[in-house]
Structure 1
Amino acid sequence: MKVAICDEDKESSVQLYGLIKRQVPDMEVFRFHSVRQFLESGQHYDILLLDISMEDMRGMEAARALRVNGADTVLIFVTARKEYAAEAFEVSAFHYLLKPVSEEKFCDVFEGACREARRLEAQKGGQLFFRTKTRNYTMQKKDILYVESAKRKVEIHTLRENITVYATMRHVEEQLGGDFFRCHRGYLVNMAHVAGYRAGVIELKNGEKIYLARDKYSEFVRMYTGYLKQEGITLL
């Protein structure tokens, strides 16, 4: 799960970061000090902690932009301004926290936000949503052939096109789930598109070949055999 903090008040940003890490130590948390910096990151976040009063753009405008673009991010406003509470409902905010935020209150709200983010992810089921700098994508997981890492980016190879996004392989692996296998440090493969395999190589139904790490071979064979049985495919 990925969380973004967008707050130009660095002291507040550090406090929120610390509260999250104490509550969920392995949570991926990203901090932005301007709305523009956040929007230009081009990534989807499960939860967004957003201040309203910022110099470059009001937080409320950023929230509206997210909703117009179809993002289902769980939105928590964290602000010293009481007067915008009513507007928060217009952008389907999960909660409206007033600064200074107590640890007890924050933990209660953040725990609820995590539950809501998991519910939304389960609801999406077979779809994957993400953003690039130029557009939003919603694709069917079944259309993904494999995912390839490239430094700080990943390239998603689909039946129709290849799409490059800023994300970690770990995050993409979490989003894709059980029918995808990490066959190599740099590759995730969709079991549904595997045609065959041999030492060091997985062959896909479209003719492409990707690496199969030596230390992943036995696990891949076990997982792929289980996948075929699950799909009712007879093993000879």
Structure 2
Amino acid sequence: MQIAVCDDQEEILKQLKKMLSRFTLVRTVYCYSDPEIFLHTLQDQTYDAVLMDIDWNRKENGLDYAARLYEASPYTKVIYMTAYGMNYMEDIFLNRTNLSGFLKKPIVPEQLEKNLQKIWDERKDSGRLLIHRQGSTLAVPFRDIWYLESSLHKTRVVLKSREYFCNERLTSMMEQLDDRFVNCHKSYIVNMEYISELQGKEILLSDPMERSGSSESDVRRIPISRARNEETRKRYFAYAAERI
């Protein structure tokens, strides 16, 4: 997991980074003492979870920043931190956020780890891609998705016989997906369940139930970028080996 920690006290940032580095679930920790800088990073960076301090000596507090986080990255989970829990209990659910937990300072390592484990388990077990469009949310089962494509500042989610468009970035959509999906190109994410062949610099997709009688028109061709060729092949061969 990639974790961001937002707190205006440098000492707390150091303590939490050290604490998080001991958890096996955590791969990378980013620390921010300025929430505006953190929000700016969302243009290029994605996080699985954010530990957000509620108390800031600013016009906005952590609840406000979490709401702005939701607008930029709706699938990033938020865990609030505060030394003054009762001060915010009436407001904590008013803003639209992807709230997952609430920790009181000083942070207890065991409680923090349980919160992260909960996020990890929910992500593994969800099995559905949430697509926000036209004021509603559609939950599409992973097994039905062939691939996702970044197209004209939107993400195109392609199934066998239909497709959906949404405004989320491809990188944000990748946060929801599990290990059956591979990011083979900056503009494509492919469901490895539907790979029939790796042919040169392309991935060939087809329905496994109809593969023997598939015509060329039934096959989708997805490019593999040079930068992601080796990793894509390694991921696919490992995935295929597990299914034998």
Partners of 1:32 and 1:199 lie apart in 2 by 43
The answer to whether the 8 Å contact 2:66/2:78 transfers is no
Q: Which amino acid aligns with 2:89?
A: A
Aligned partner of 2:114 in structure 1 is 112
**145, 148, 154: which one pairs with 2:147?**
145
Check 1:219–1:66 CA distance in 2 against 1; reply closer, same or farther (3 A cut). Answer: closer
Please show how residues 1-236 of structure 1 align to structure 2 within 5 Å. Answer: 1-24=1-24, 26-40=26-40, 41=42, 45-54=47-56, 55-64=58-67, 71=75, 73-77=77-81, 79-81=82-84, 83-87=86-90, 90=93, 94-98=101-105, 101=106, 105-127=107-129, 140=140, 141=142, 142-143=144-145, 145=147, 158-159=157-158, 160-161=164-165, 164-165=169-170, 172=174, 175-181=176-182, 188-194=189-195, 196-204=197-205, 207-211=220-224, 213=229, 220=236, 223-224=239-240
Question: Greater CA deviation, 116-125 or 137-146?
Answer: 137-146
- What's the % identity of the aligned pairs? 19
SS across alignment from 1:208: strand
TM-score normalised by L of structure 1: 0.61
User: Once the two structures are superposed, what CA deviation does each residue of 1:81-122 show, in whole Å capped at 9, x if it has no partner?
Assistant: 455253475366623322xx2xxx521111111122023214
Partners of 1:215 and 1:51 lie apart in 2 by 37
Partners of 2:128 and 2:104 lie apart in 1 by 33
Aligned length: 208
Partners of 2:91 and 2:22 lie apart in 1 by 27
The answer to whether the 8 Å contact 2:4/2:29 transfers is yes
Tell me how far 1:5 sits from its aligned partner. 0.9
User: Once the two structures are superposed, what CA deviation does each residue of 1:8-58 show, in whole Å capped at 9, x if it has no partner?
Assistant: 222322221122113348522222333333334256644322222222521
Check 1:221–1:34 CA distance in 2 against 1; reply closer, same or farther (3 A cut). Answer: closer
CA RMSD of aligned residues (A): 4.6
Structure 2, unpaired ranges of 5+ = 159-163, 206-217
